[in-house]
Copies of this chain bind each other. A is one copy, B any other.
Amino acid sequence: YVAIWLDQAGEEKLAASSGSETTDLVSFPLAYQGETIGRLEVARRAPNEQFSEADYRLIEKIAQQAGAAAQTVRLNTELIRSRAQIVNEREDERLRIRRDLHDELGPMLAAQGLKLSAARQMMRTKPEKAESLVDEVIQQSRQTVADVRRLVHGLRPPVLDQLGLVEAVRDLARNHGGGLALEIIAPSDGLPHLPAAVEVNAYRILLEAWNNAVRHSHASRCLVKFQAEQDMLVISIQDNGVGMPKDYRSGVGLRSMRARAEEIGGSIRIDDGKPHGTRITARLPLPAFEGNTK
């Protein structure tokens, strides 16, 4: 009997097994680039029979080989989970928007129509009643404008539609300044047209990077550089501060930046700035999907 257990999202899960299960097992760690990512379990040939030195060495070698394959399986599982989660969140959002619009806005507009028709009829005969109906509708209408605005703001950062990505960063620096001077370098003829996802995720990455620089770097200046390569938007954010503490490199802010880049097929890189400070580089692919594959 042989079984492979993998650590998946903090839980150990059975990935593969062969032979009939038994309890008398010897366990070998599966590692990938120094990190233990699971266990290889092997049954003794006979109860209480010890493995020989050579057996151990052989199985350890197999466990090493299996480590790389196991890492791929973990990565695949994680990708499938991540995609499913994005789809689940998308459909939850659609449901929420649908309910906001269909169950609230729709009936409200219908009720407005009725009130206005009634007001229209009695305008000459009962002007006071008509006035009060029109007042109600005006009041409700203001409420509706506010509701729609709230719904709209939740969908994507409004500043992107008002200012575009580059100016949105300048705006960000103005509003979350923290005494940090911002310099922006962008192509003189502007960025190419960015897909909505690249624009939004770039903005969220920049927001996170800026906040980090303001809160932790003790920097006085921050340089944000936008470059459009053939099929890639490359953004680097460089400050002249104290650099990142080593333990931050896996912190929440960085994880969220990385997730933002990865969900659109991009990557984040962190380098020590020269002569000091930190440089964060985001590489975000500009998709060229001819035709939808659905």
Contact = CB atoms under 8 A, between A and B. Distances in A.
A96 to B, nearest CB: 9
A119 interface: yes
A111 to B, nearest CB: 10
A117 B145 contact: no
Interface string A254-287: 0010010011110000000000000000000101
A161 B96 CA distance: 12
B138 A127 contact: no
Nearest to A75: B76
A156 B109 CA distance: 21
A196 B120 contact: no
Contacts of A105: 148
Given A97-B97, A102-B152, A131-B123, A113 B86 contact: no
A293 B86 CA distance: 11
A82 interface: yes
A92 B148 contact: no
B152 A98 contact: yes
Contact of A83 (B88, B158, B265): B265
Interface of A: 72, 75-76, 79-92, 94-95, 97-99, 101-102, 105-106, 109-110, 112-113, 116-117, 119-120, 123-124, 127, 130-131, 134-135, 137-138, 141-142, 144-145, 148-149, 151-152, 155-156, 158, 161, 195-201, 256, 259, 262-265, 285, 287, 289, 292-294
